[in-house]
Amino acid sequence: RGHLPIYTDFRAGGSRKVTIVRKIAGDVQALGYELERVCESPVTQFHGRLEVKGLHREKVKEWLWSLGF
CB 44 within 8 A of CB 33: no
pTM for this entry:
0.86
Say what the pLDDT of residue 15 is: 86
Residue 60's identity, in one-letter code, is V
* Beta strands across the sheet bearing 6-11: 6-11, 16-22, 49-53, 43-46
Share of the chain above pLDDT 90, in %: 68
The sign one gets for the Cα dihedral 19, 20, 26, 30 is: positive
